[in-house]
Amino acid sequence: MIKIALLFPGQGSQYNLMGKALLESSPEARDIFQRTNEILGYDLLAIINGGNLEQLTRTEHAQPAIFAYSYAIFQSIWKEKKFFPSFMAGHSLGEFTALTCADVFRYEDALRLVMERATIMQQATADGFGGMAAINGLHPLLVEEECARVSNGEDQIVVANYNSSNQVVISGAKSLIKVAMENLAKIGAITIPLQVSAPFHTPYLEFSNQMFQRAIAQTPMSALKWPVISNVDAKPYYHPAEIQERLSVQMISAVRWKETIEYMLRQGVNTFIELGPKSALTNLLKRDFSHVRAYSYEENYQEITAAIDEQIAEKRPSVISRSLAIAVCTRNQNWNEEEYQKGVIEPYRKIQALGNKLEEEGREESIEEIRQAIEMLRSVFVTKKVPLEEQRERFTQIFDETKKRHLFDEFVPVMFAEKEAVNEK
């Protein structure tokens, strides 16, 4: 069974003329960039195509450019092939792309957030003060020790990204990064300065972070269409309130990318598709997890379409599989362990076993099995104290995605009628 995760890159992946082929072939992509220009108030494509990499690398240009291009890739593929990713994850800036593709943010709202984020991050430090560098070939603990050793009372550097078993990214004062790179190279590290102009994911951005929290709080959010993994703790988001909470500290927290990939692998993901400029995330994945399929849009388009077609050919997601996924993605607000065991864990495991049985037997779910899955999810919702409106949205999502909308009226309204009748008593 094909389980696909979509990955979205962050700043540092930008390059001149990126997206040229997509824009030539995709009306959707051209429309997205036109809308982007209108919101930004300037011609972003002129900067991307202008040949001045230094200008494109500036945070306030690079972040909207990567965001718009990555989103345009997703939309162009989604228009042609209605596939169903099991997870989405984005590296730093890419997390905003993932959340937008998962329908948490409207594109226009997300772009404004990205603009705000880029501007306040760039303004956080004087031009030329901050920077970042990739450190390859050493255990992360050695790099952490070097960061602590060269930091002083005034300036500091920290590990900002835990990308793989032997790659981390350091961030902070550019002068100290240069010293650390030289020292680490002496003990075998391969060091690469990154194309960024601010010390992302460090305490230097604390004031910027406080400003950004206000912007996030004012941005409308919707329920997740697909699970998205947070950079901050490498766990899936369950609710818009959690998205606000974790995104508001993302820029001062380390990106736990390796843990993010490991989480998705534990959930059975076997195909990773990177949507965005270059192939940095794909290459990282291949180094640590050579047994999984990892493709980047710009280098492996044919393989990507083949993997998606393979998933589509298998079958559309079942009500059982989507109910199980949504049960996991739903935020819990009930800390009574006995109720949680009876109302969440036990029914979930029962339906999980049923799903495994159907997969082994290679058959479709029956109406009765669909009913059992819906009853399980209803039990999870009630036990986790999910608001009724969110419950309705989730059930609608399941029946729409599985193309079984005709069954919605048979199962769901009865459950809500029963619940509301109880509440009236």
Average pLDDT, the chain: 91
What is the predicted pLDDT for the residue at 240?
80
User: Mean pLDDT over residues 33-41, rounded?
Assistant: 98
| pLDDT exceeds cutoff 90 at 68 | yes
Give the domain 4-123+203-314 fold: Malonyl-Coenzyme A Acyl Carrier Protein; domain 2 (3.40.366)
What is the predicted pLDDT for the residue at 423?
45
The answer to whether 230 is a known catalytic residue is no
pTM above 0.85, yes or no: no
What is the predicted pLDDT for the residue at 224?
82
Cα(5)–Cα(87) distance, rounded to whole angstroms? 5
83-102 pLDDT, tens digit each: 888 899 999 999 999 999 99
What is the predicted pLDDT for the residue at 413?
62
For the chain, the domains span 4-123+203-314, 130-193, 319-424
10-26 pLDDT, tens digit each: 988 999 999 999 999 99
* Lowest mean pLDDT across 154-168, 352-366, 407-421: 407-421
What is the predicted pLDDT for the residue at 338?
94
253-293 pLDDT, tens digit each: 999 999 999 999 988 899 999 999 999 999 999 999 999 99
According to CATH, what is the number of the domain 130-193? 3.30.70.250
298-324 pLDDT, tens digit each: 999 999 999 999 988 876 778 999 999
Q: Residue 267 is which amino acid? A: Q
194-216 pLDDT, tens digit each: 877 789 999 999 988 999 999 99
The answer to whether 92 is a known catalytic residue is yes
pLDDT band at 422 (very low <50, low <70, confident <90, very high): very low
Paired tokens of 387: 């608001």
pLDDT band at 375 (very low <50, low <70, confident <90, very high): very high
User: Mean pLDDT over residues 167-174, rounded?
Assistant: 96
Q: Which DSSP state fits 406? A: G
User: Mean pLDDT over residues 228-250, rounded?
Assistant: 90
| pLDDT exceeds cutoff 70 at 34 | yes
| pLDDT exceeds cutoff 50 at 425 | no
What is the predicted pLDDT for the residue at 420?
46
In the chain, the percentage of residues whose pLDDT exceeds 90 is: 71
What is the predicted pLDDT for the residue at 201?
95
Burial of 71 per CB tally in 10 Å (0-12, 13-18, 19+):
buried
Contact status, residue 285 vs residue 272, Cβ threshold 8 Å: yes
Q: Which of 201, 208, 248, 318 is catalytic?
A: 201
What is the predicted pLDDT for the residue at 402?
83
Helix (H) or strand (E) holding 135: strand 130-136
Instruction: Write a three-state SS string for 320-334.
Output: HHHHHHHHHHCCCCC
User: Mean pLDDT over residues 333-343, rounded?
Assistant: 94
Pairing of strands 4-8, 87-90: parallel
More confident: 400 or 63: 63
What is the predicted pLDDT for the residue at 416?
59
Strand partners, 130: 173
For the chain, percent helix, then strand, then coil, each to nearest 5? 60, 10, 30
User: Mean pLDDT over residues 227-238, rounded?
Assistant: 92
**Signed CA dihedral, 166, 142, 250, 112: sign only:** negative
* Helix, strand, or coil (residue 156): coil
Q: Which of 13, 92, 171, 248 is catalytic?
A: 92
More confident: 216 or 400: 216
Cα(254)–Cα(151) distance, rounded to whole angstroms? 17
